[in-house]
Structures are given as structure tokens and as C-alpha cells.
Structure 1
């Protein structure tokens, strides 16, 4: 410090003068409405934001940066909790002033902006006890503990606090988006520019190379601009919604239903980036009556407004319906909202919802069959709703503007935390993609070696043809069951009618098909009754005994009614019926659930050889084959429902109380009972076929069903099944059967290969975007040339601070990813920019590998808060936590 340079006196604290205002009698008797007070504040919108930005710089100390206490040293430190956080102190004075205030938050001037510092690092030591005096025998305490503080309870000012919170939230959003750096002011804010953008998504000019396109070429936040939206909807009030899908999804069934009477809106629709679960710009809107096409069209086109990419991939719960006439509906929109004709748009159904759709939808809109989709699952929006649903009790009572502001604020916070989580999420996805690509490639190569090259080439042409034209034959389709049980019933009835027309007298007034139908129903009721008996073991109540006896009596009556029909078609069976008791008073049947029904398949071999049994023997064989196919279809359908029910309970019901959990358990038990019935029906049919036709062609299609086989759908190892050609199949027939299996295995291999490429590109985009964003913030530092010098200092300081955070975010991610990528011998092009010293990278432990990690976008989020607050010892990024990134005040 040069003593010859005259020093300016330290600045004095500003004085706040409060002047009493006398109100007239009429003014005292009226209350200004809330919106009027907010309109009054809007006149000071820009000035208020400037005052906030001023505190990010030197403010009143610009040009005379001396300690407010001693005046001898440069003031480099300020306390955010003392005197409004505007006074500067030297290191010695700030420690002295805070001897009894150890929990205040301190910041240090770096020359460009204020950075976080702590009193412990500045030399403050606190000895508890001793009445505030010095400890005669001081000793250092434990270094790694944390202290929590509260500011206490103050007088009730709820209305004023609510209003100020609304204003403050608005100002912070504008500040974080850099709107205070624009010379033209807040009023020129572009639609969607306040939304936290996804750095992993492609942004031309930001995180894409300059030559990327050589192959081709007020809603300020997530909510869209309301006036234009409502004006558009006025033309579609009575437009009908036509449904041709088999799904009973709420988006289809309740499209014309207003679920919440008395409310202006029935819900909110949302558009997110499906790979990373970040809310898109202008990607939210209110729904007036279900998810009508006009609502969803408008929000999707707004979310894609200004995006010029060669390919857009959209996942939607009812994409099978919404995608119909998509281009023709787009013509009704303004030209600047339309997707360019040369842009390819693919639509798929998320894996979470596709099991609720019909077979055609599962084939044509499956993400696993879509080229370029990688391992995208499309269910991230459900994770988003689980986060936002907790706000419903609060926002549904708000005015529309407050509701939009609140949701915008929460979604921006969600976006930011997802961006911070990219560090661990992308690392896990990368390792999983490397391992799974290798595994599925090996499995596919082994499977491929069993087929001639000409056959494989034929299959490849089928896949390419279907990818170019979805209306072509789908190679992923497994051979369909051409005949069902109901078709066989119709065929047998027609044969009987033909015999009647030819003059053959019927054996009984009940047809043969009616005989089998009644018998199959009794057979299943016997199993259900046995299952109920097994569930009520032990001492039973009188009601339980009465219910069981009623069901037993009903089953006995059905068997008695069926026996005469059975005797008419298989007369020799009468000799096998239970005998009369010795007393001769009454006939006695065994327990009806154990009574043998004596179908042809359960008759002795000598009976089955009789000419009279031949016709009904063949009829049962035909029906049993188709009954087995139907039973397997029921098993698969019920397993899909049970899996979806379990996932729904896990995400929405668990932890909500005993009543909803009990209801879900009851529903699960009912479905499980139906699954047991379907499995038993298949076992019974399979055993009957072993008797009726032990060497028939059905054995090539039907296998024994073991309990371990009843599982899924889920993430199985996807190993090839043990398949061989049947004796009665030609080579071409066998190859056609294997085409679907080959195509599905190739799709799994290709999707994992794509996933590995996509995740590497996403890593590069994140780094490129953060570096671009850092440069953008640096450019904002000097844009306000006409601002007051103290405001300009704050504007520049905040811009440099944000630029520094973006640089640190990029380095924080890159130095975590590089050792993992090098572990698998993958060296990205950006590795030289963020290269670690050899001594640091060699001492860093290898991150844990998780080959079976979840593909959901919430992976790694549970560790984010912990990772954000710990020191990364091997990274040049330094300490990075939420408070150092987000300016909460």
C-alpha cells in the first residue's frame, strides 16, 4: 500500500428515512386489490432488478474499496447477513466483528465477482462455554461437523410475504436468465428464454459443430403464452375425438371429460426432452377438458418452435392415435410454428404405456424397433409428474398467473438439478452401454452363425424395407395364431349344422360344441373352488362355511345337468360313474371339486379305441390345441397387467397409507388368481394333448409350462432360446419362424450400439454447451453501457460469476467422465482440453460399474445433493455445490 496516495474516507451507511403519510377517511376505508399493487410495482421492474444486480458488484464501494471498520486495509470481504450485505471489511475486521456471529455467510471479492468463503478459513475459532470469555486451555475441536441455524419466529405478515415472494421469484428468474444485462430491458424477453435449457440436447450454434447441417437443412418460461393459446382453442371447442386404439388409457377414455368440476382447467400437459427429462421451452399448457388433439398439437409445435433439425423423435402415451393426420392438422397452424416438411418426425409409445395397447400398436410404435432411438424408454415424463404432483394442493387454489409462475419456478429448479445430475447419470449410462453392447453383440453373432448367408440377407432387406415404409411387412412380427378357440367352435357348429341338413339325427338337443363348452367351464370352476378351499384352511366361520356349501351345491348341480349330455356323446362313460352306496338309499358323489369329468382324454386306452369315441376324440384334440394357445395368451396378458400394477404401486401408492396399499393388494390377489387359472388351464390342456396326440405337430409349438417360466415382462438376459426345426417343418417355414427372433436380437444389438454413440455425443454436447454458455455470460458483462457505474459493476460481477460456474461445471463433468472412458479404451476428442495430470488420474479409484442400472432418468439423482457438497479431490473444478451455482437471494 502506497502511503503517499491520499485515501478517501470510507463510505457511510445509507440512511433510510420513513415519512408518515396521513390518509383520508375514504382512503383508510378501502383496500387496494392485490393485482393493483403488483401493477404498481411493475413500473419499477427494471430499476428493482438493477438494484439487485448492484449488490453482486462493489456497489457503493466502487472506487474506494476500503475496510468500513479500520479504513487501513482493502475491504475484500462482506457479510450477507449484516447490514444488508453491502459493507466491506478486511480479513482481520470481519473475523473480529463475527466473533459472536460465527454462522453468518461471508463472501470474498476475487477481482471480478464475490465468491463464497467461510469464517473458519479466515481464522475464526469459537470455544463454547466460559460465558463468552477466552478459554484458558483451548484445544481444537473436531474438523468435520456441521451447524444448523434458524432465524426464529417473527410477526404475522402473511399477505405481504406472499406478495414479496411472488415478486422475488420473478426477479430471480429474470436475473438467472441474464435479462438484467440486456440494454433493451425486461420487456423484450423472448418466449421461452427464461427456461433452463438442456445442455445435452442439440442446440445449433451452441453445442453442435458449425458444419452439422451440411446434410440438410408473454410465455417466457415453460408455460406457453396464454392469449394466443386460448384464441387458438376457440376454433376447436366441439371438435370430436375419434378413437381407433384398443388401449383404455385415460388420455383416450377421458378426452371429453372434465375431471375436476368447479375448476377452470382439468390438468396440465407437458413436453420434455425424453432422453434427459428437462422441461422444454414453452413446453407446458393448461388442459380444459382432457388431452384433446388441439391442446397437444399447440404445445408440441410451440415446444419445437425454432428448432431446425433433420430428425425429431416424439414419444406420447397415445402416439398411435395422435400421429394420425399429424401433418394435415399442422397446416392449420401459422407457418412459423410448423415443422419443416423435410424434417423427419417419428412417433412411438413409451415403454411404460405400450403394454396397455393392442398387438398392432406394440409392433408399430415400439421404441426398441425404431432405428436411432438407442435405449430411450420415454417414461421420464412420469418421473416428472411424480415430482410435480406434490404441488397440486397448493397451485389448484392459486390464480392462473400465480399458478404458472409457481410451476415455472419449480420446473426451472428441476431442470437445473437434472443438469447437475448429468455427471453421474451419464457415467452410469456410458458404462452400461459399453457392457450391454458387448454382451448383445456376442449373443447375436452366435445366433447369426446358425443361418445361411442368403437367409440373413433376405431378413436384412425386410428390415430395411420396413424402416423405409412402415406399411410393409413387419419383420418383428412373430407368426400369428391363425385359428383361435372361438374359430374352432364356429367350425364345429357349422359341421354339425351340415350334418343336420344332410338328415343326420342329433344325439342330443345340446350340440357337441355346447357339450365341450359346458365341460371346460366345469373343469375351470373345479380348480377355482379348490383354490378357494386352500385359502380358507383352519377353522372357518359360519359365513365362510355357508358360502362354500352354496358354491359346492351349485357345482354339483352343473355336473348333474352335464352328465346326460356326456352320456349321449360318450355312452360308455356311464360305466365309470360313481357307484351307489351299499345301503342303496341315495347316490353319493365325491366332493365336486374332485369328481373326474371323463373327457375323451381322461378315458382308459381301451375306451379311446372304440369307433364311437373317434369323432369326439378328434374334436377334443382340435379344441385343446387352440385352448392351449388362448391360455398362453391370457398368461402373457395377465403378467403384463400385474407388472404394470406393481410398478404403479411402487411409484404412486407405496408410503401413502394402509388403505390404498390394501386396495392394491386385493387387486393383485384377484389378478394372481386369474393368472393361476390360466396357467392351470394350460397345464390341463397340455396333459390332455399328451394323451390325445402324443406325437402331433403341436409339440413343436407348445412346451411344458414351469412355474419359473411365468415371469416378466422385464429385463431378461435376452439370451437366444433353444430352438430347433420341427420334423414337419420345411427349411423355409423354419426360417420364416426365426425371422422375428433374429430381427429382435439384431434390434437389441443395434439399440445398445446406438446408445453408446448417443451417450458419448451427449457428453460432448454438455461440455460444449457449458463452454458456450460461459462465453455468452462473459459477453453480457459490458452490454449495459448506459447504466450507473455501481449497477454496471454488479452486472459485470454477476456475469463473470455465472461464466466461472459454467466453466467449472464443464470441468467438473469432464474430469469425472474421462477416467471411466479411458478404462474402456475410449478417448474422446475433447479429452485434451480437460486432460488430467497423470499423477492425479492414476490415484483416482475406478468408479463402480453397474451393468444392470435402471434406464430411468432419475438414476443417480439420490446422490446429487451429497455429491454437490463434497470436495472433488482429483478434479480442477474445485468445490461445486448448489448454493455456489444458484443465487438464492
Structure 2
């Protein structure tokens, strides 16, 4: 460091070094590294992926066929020329590059913040408070327990089979195969749905409406139970997949695992069907009772919504993953989700949803700051070239004019690039202000974090 000018020296007493693994290389590491050294779970990095050097090396691969036949000097000059061209193209393309990034970051920030807030609103306040303390403590001190890692006791496949057998036995004993709910038959539902008409008197209408309101509450509870059962079965399915991948080898073990997974999948499909039938019944009763707004409480359950909490849609990465609405609705993490494994999964996914919301919010902040610095850089570079116009002594008049002409031309190019950036980004701040953002996102570091 002493070989550089003093203004480039780093005061190590005021800097905390954070070591992370680039995103493309991270999946090759063990599970512990994938959370402890992830850009996705680290504060103040935005959407940095750490793969910028790899992009430069990938671009230079095409030159290898030529440089391998060169001598050392020619090879170095050729590589320097190509690397210089790579850097120059990055500088010239800053206006469209940053504009493209901010256009992608603002709506993604809005989506991820909304998902995080919906998930937080659906969880008990005490759980959210506990999760917040855990993740903030870990972010400040990585020696503390990692909230992104599960430490709950893992259920065996034998336990899962026993649970399935108990549930299926209870269904057979209760004889509810042809009943929509424990006290509601299809015939009763049809009668109730058609019970009101325009010629009904006030007393019959009141009786029918009271009966239908009671039935509506039963169907509401049925739909909510179906979603809870769906979540539980999806968690069970995810656990079985993990056990099969990690521990089962050989045809016999894999066959037994596949049979168990098939049974759980059947339960998942059954729960989804129950919810859809209940939703249709709620819609019919709501029309008869002239009630509105029920769609917000009971959204449509599409096939893409029936997925595990840690699984996103096709094409989504960890940083852009979205949660299905079944995991953000009311009741998540309540009394029915008290098992250690369920609470741990909720904590992990809440922490990941929080990380996505914060990283995209930081990305917008960092992009705005980088845009400001790019404009200042172009202004500084233009002034620097003007200073070079007459900085050399001992030149002839012709040489001095040539140097000045070249320096002023370079200064004009930098000024023009700055003007292009200013014109391209003139509405960026207004565009950013329209997006949803976290109300209390502390981007600036405290004194302890510097």
C-alpha cells in the first residue's frame, strides 16, 4: 500500500472486511457457506453478485486462439488492448445500463416489499418480533445463531407414514367421504343457496339469512382448514423430498419413498380441491346474500399457487423469488403451525423475504448514488482532459497545438457522455418515488458499521 499515493491508503481501524462468495460459485459450496457467505443475506450490498471479474474473463476467452501463438510482449499488449476496450465500452454504455437496471429494480422492490409486508401481517406479532431480533443480531455478529439455517429435529420417514395412517384412519372412522364438511351436506348447501328470492317475506327471509350466514361461517372455516392442511402437506412433501435426496440409496429405498411421496401428493391435491369447492360455495352464498368483498379473503387457487414455501415460479432466482399467497394469508404461524419444524420454516422464509425486500431497496438506493457519481465522474474527467491541453513543456508550436486539440476533443467527448446520462436519467427520481418502499430502511451505516 505504501507504493500508492497517501490519499489511496485505507484506514483499517475504520473498516470491517466482509468476505462473500460470488453468486454463481456459491451453490458449489456446503450448505453452511450458502447462507453465511451469501450476497443475498448480507446488508448494504444491494443486488451485487460478485461475478464482474468473471464477465471480463469470459469476454477475453475468444482472444486465446490468437494470443497463444504470440510472444510475451505481444500477448500482453493484445490483452491490454482488449481489456481497455472492455472498460471503455462499460463507460460509454453507462447511461442505458443504469437506466435498464433502475427500471428493473423499482418494480421488483415494490413486489418484494409487498410480499414481505403481507407475510409479516399474516404472522403473529410476537413471532415477527422474535424473528426480527434474531436476524438483526446475526447481521451484526455472524458468530450468533444463523436464522437462515434450520436446527429443528428432523422427522423420519417412519414418522411421516405413521402420521398419514392416523389421518386416513380418522377419515374412514368419521365417514366424511361424501360430506363437504362435518355438518354440511351438498343437498343442504343447494337448498340454502336457493333459499332467498324476491317474494320472500321479512320473517322467512330473516330465518333463511340467519341460516345461510351460519352456513357461510362453516364454509369459511372449511376453506381456511383446507388451506392449513394444504400448507402442512406441502411442508411434509418438501421434507420427504429432502430425506430421499440426502439419505436414500438403491431401488428398494427409493421405491418406498416414492410411494410415501405419492400419498402426500394425493393429500395435497385433495386439500386444493376442497378449498376450490369451498370457494365456489362461498361465492354462490355471497351472491344470494348480496355480500361483496369475499374475493379478497379467498383468492383463486391456481396450480402455480400450490407450491412449497421455498419454491418460486419458473425463472425466479433467490433474489427475485415470490411467495404463493397461501403462505402470506392470515393464520400462518398461528396455533395450528406450532410444530418446531413449521415455526423454523416460517422463520427462515420470513428472513429470506425480508432479505429480498432489503436487497432490492438497497439496490435502488445504490443505483441512484452511482448515477450521481457517474455524472460527477464525467465532469471531472472532462476537466482533467482540459488541464492536459497545456500541461507539457518543451514542445514545438505544432506539437503543442496537436496535444491541445486532442485534449479538448477528449474533454468534449466526456462532456457529451455526461449530457447523455443527464438526459437519459432526468425522470429517474420521479420514477423511483412512485414505487413502494420499506418505511424504515436504514441504508446509511452507523458509526459501528463503518
How does the TM-score come out when normalised to structure 2?
A: 0.60
CA displacement, residues 596-646 of structure 1 (integer Å, 9 cap, x when unaligned): xxxxx9xxx9xxxxxxxxxxxxxxxxxxx9998463366699xxxxxxxxx
CA distance in structure 1 between the aligned counterparts of 2:255 and 2:95, rounded to whole angstroms: 50
**Which of 360, 368, 371 is residue 760 of structure 1 equivalent to?**
368
Shift of 1:351: 1.6
Q: Which residue of 2 aligns with 1:684?
A: 259
CA displacement, residues 483-529 of structure 1 (integer Å, 9 cap, x when unaligned): 667xx8xxxxxxxxxxxxxxxxxxxxxxxxxxxxxxxxxxxxxxxxx
Q: Equivalences for 1:332-343 in 2 at 5 Å? A: 340-343=12-15
Pair 453,784 (structure 1): closer, same or farther in 2 beyond 3 Å: same
Contact 1:631–1:681 (Cα < 8 Å) also in 2 = no
Q: Which residue of 2 aligns with 1:390?
A: 62
CA distance in structure 2 between the aligned counterparts of 1:421 and 1:808, rounded to whole angstroms: 13
CA distance in structure 2 between the aligned counterparts of 1:748 and 1:686, rounded to whole angstroms: 31
**Which of 736, 739, 743 is residue 347 of structure 2 equivalent to?**
739
Contact 2:388–2:407 (Cα < 8 Å) also in 1 = yes
Q: Equivalences for 1:15-94 in 2 at 5 Å? A: none
CA distance in structure 1 between the aligned counterparts of 2:66 and 2:410, rounded to whole angstroms: 32
Q: What SS does the corresponding residue of 2:390 show, helix, strand or coil?
A: coil
1:354 counterpart = 2:354: no
**Which of 381, 388, 400 is residue 72 of structure 2 equivalent to?**
400
Q: Equivalences for 1:696-775 in 2 at 5 Å? A: 714-715=316-317, 717-720=321-324, 722-723=326-327, 724-725=332-333, 730=338, 735-775=343-383
Shift of 1:813: 1.2
Contact 2:150–2:348 (Cα < 8 Å) also in 1 = yes
Q: What SS does the corresponding residue of 1:352 show, helix, strand or coil?
A: coil
CA displacement, residues 92-111 of structure 1 (integer Å, 9 cap, x when unaligned): xxxxxxxxxxxxxxxxxxxx
CA distance in structure 1 between the aligned counterparts of 2:264 and 2:111, rounded to whole angstroms: 39
Contact 2:45–2:362 (Cα < 8 Å) also in 1 = yes
Contact 1:479–1:737 (Cα < 8 Å) also in 2 = no
CA displacement, residues 781-822 of structure 1 (integer Å, 9 cap, x when unaligned): 111232111111111111111111111010011101113444
Q: What SS does the corresponding residue of 1:783 show, helix, strand or coil?
A: coil
CA displacement, residues 281-301 of structure 1 (integer Å, 9 cap, x when unaligned): xxxxxxxxxxxxxxxxxxxx8
**Which of 368, 373, 377 is residue 40 of structure 2 equivalent to?**
368
Q: What SS does the corresponding residue of 1:744 show, helix, strand or coil?
A: helix
Shift of 1:352: 1.1
Q: Which residue of 2 aligns with 1:632?
A: 242
Give the unaligned 5+ runs of structure 1. Answer: 1-300, 310-335, 489-600, 606-624, 638-673, 692-704, 827-889
Q: Equivalences for 1:249-398 in 2 at 5 Å? A: 340-398=12-70
CA distance in structure 2 between the aligned counterparts of 1:685 and 1:747, rounded to whole angstroms: 34
**Aligned pairs, number:** 314
Contact 1:444–1:746 (Cα < 8 Å) also in 2 = yes
CA distance in structure 1 between the aligned counterparts of 2:80 and 2:364, rounded to whole angstroms: 33
Contact 1:437–1:752 (Cα < 8 Å) also in 2 = yes
Q: Which residue of 2 aligns with 1:143?
A: none
1:476 counterpart = 2:148: yes
CA distance in structure 1 between the aligned counterparts of 2:335 and 2:69, rounded to whole angstroms: 70
Contact 2:124–2:334 (Cα < 8 Å) also in 1 = no
Q: Which residue of 2 aligns with 1:438?
A: 110
Pair 427,678 (structure 1): closer, same or farther in 2 beyond 3 Å: farther
CA displacement, residues 393-446 of structure 1 (integer Å, 9 cap, x when unaligned): 221222222222211110010000111111111001111111111111122222
CA distance in structure 1 between the aligned counterparts of 2:370 and 2:26, rounded to whole angstroms: 26
CA displacement, residues 561-608 of structure 1 (integer Å, 9 cap, x when unaligned): xxxxxxxxxxxxxxxxxxxxxxxxxxxxxxxxxxxxxxxx9xxx9xxx
Q: Which residue of 2 aligns with 1:426?
A: 98
Q: What SS does the corresponding residue of 2:24 show, helix, strand or coil?
A: coil
Pair 681,355 (structure 1): closer, same or farther in 2 beyond 3 Å: farther
Shift of 1:482: 3.4
Pair 629,796 (structure 1): closer, same or farther in 2 beyond 3 Å: same
Pair 630,769 (structure 1): closer, same or farther in 2 beyond 3 Å: same
Q: Which residue of 2 aligns with 1:412?
A: 84
Q: Equivalences for 1:848-887 in 2 at 5 Å? A: none
Q: Indicate the larger mover: 740-749 or 458-467.
A: 458-467
Contact 2:388–2:404 (Cα < 8 Å) also in 1 = yes
Pair 308,433 (structure 1): closer, same or farther in 2 beyond 3 Å: farther
Q: Equivalences for 1:146-295 in 2 at 5 Å? A: none
Shift of 1:683: 4.0
Q: What SS does the corresponding residue of 1:371 show, helix, strand or coil?
A: coil
Q: Which has the higher strand share?
A: 1
Pair 407,416 (structure 1): closer, same or farther in 2 beyond 3 Å: same
Q: Which residue of 2 aligns with 1:327?
A: none
Shift of 1:360: 0.4
Q: What SS does the corresponding residue of 1:436 show, helix, strand or coil?
A: helix
Pair 797,706 (structure 1): closer, same or farther in 2 beyond 3 Å: closer
CA distance in structure 2 between the aligned counterparts of 1:441 and 1:706, rounded to whole angstroms: 21
Q: Indicate the larger mover: 751-760 or 417-426.
A: 417-426
Shift of 1:757: 0.6
CA distance in structure 2 between the aligned counterparts of 1:440 and 1:717, rounded to whole angstroms: 8
Give the unaligned 5+ runs of structure 2. Answer: 159-164, 170-234, 267-302, 435-450
Pair 362,786 (structure 1): closer, same or farther in 2 beyond 3 Å: same
Shift of 1:777: 0.8
**Which of 402, 410, 414 is residue 806 of structure 1 equivalent to?**
414
CA distance in structure 1 between the aligned counterparts of 2:110 and 2:347, rounded to whole angstroms: 22
How does the TM-score come out when normalised to structure 1?
A: 0.32
Pair 678,388 (structure 1): closer, same or farther in 2 beyond 3 Å: farther
Higher RCO (C-alpha under 8 Å, 6+ residues apart): 2
Q: Which has the higher helix share?
A: 2
Shift of 1:479: 4.8
Q: What SS does the corresponding residue of 2:48 show, helix, strand or coil?
A: coil
CA distance in structure 2 between the aligned counterparts of 1:678 and 1:763, rounded to whole angstroms: 57
Q: Which residue of 2 aligns with 1:41?
A: none
CA displacement, residues 189-239 of structure 1 (integer Å, 9 cap, x when unaligned): xxxxxxxxxxxxxxxxxxxxxxxxxxxxxxxxxxxxxxxxxxxxxxxxxxx
CA distance in structure 2 between the aligned counterparts of 1:825 and 1:708, rounded to whole angstroms: 34
Root-mean-square deviation over aligned CA pairs: 4.2
CA distance in structure 2 between the aligned counterparts of 1:429 and 1:735, rounded to whole angstroms: 36
